Structure 1
Amino acid sequence: MHIELPCCIDPAHASLTGHFPDHPIVPGVVILNEVLRAVEPYCSGMSDAFRMPSAKFLSPLLPGQRFTITIDHSNEKTCFTVKSGITCIVTGILTPESPSSGGDVP
């Protein structure tokens, strides 16, 4: 499965208030939430059942900056990339949540 989804974080997004005043950047958690929202329609609404064992932030994303989420799925591994033009913002991996782990950290 290969998915490409164009996105943009509204400069008025609530998370941006006070986040680096005068030079705001989009918080990483907001970007990762967009990744989960992008994969959700293709996984029977189970985006909350994913682990993100790897996410590497390579460049900041500015409010209002257009970007593309690319998701490539094969076997039990789903890789994602977030790019704005040719600039890579973040790369990472999604894996299904193990039923035995329950997602809790001891």
Structure 2
Amino acid sequence: MKQQGEDLNAFEQLELGTVRTLMYGAIAGACSEAATYPFEVVRRQLQMQVRATKMNALQTCIKIVEHGGFPALYAGLIPSLLQVLPSAAISYFVYEFMKIVLKVQ
């Protein structure tokens, strides 16, 4: 720790520290991705439909669950998390860091 008269740099002013800030950003990104991923699966299925057999989002979701069960809505979540987690962690860290640097409360 610095002496009382010395100023702390921006890294030392982070309330949670660097590692915790990155971890909390990654956790927030994982929660966000897990909550929205089924909607992405339905959206992709809607985009692949041909005009003759167009269904709405609810019908598409029901069809996915009927054919693959509830886990089909989360098919491919792990690779997506591997892509999202680092960017979410870094984004949250930079956000918190810049709040300190720019002296924004």
TM-score calculated relative to the size of structure 1: 0.27
Which structure features the higher share of helix residues? 2
Q: Tell which has more relative contact order, 1 or 2 (C-alpha 8 A, sep 6+).
A: 2
TM-score calculated relative to the size of structure 2: 0.28
Structure having the higher Rg: 2
Which structure features the higher share of strand residues? 1
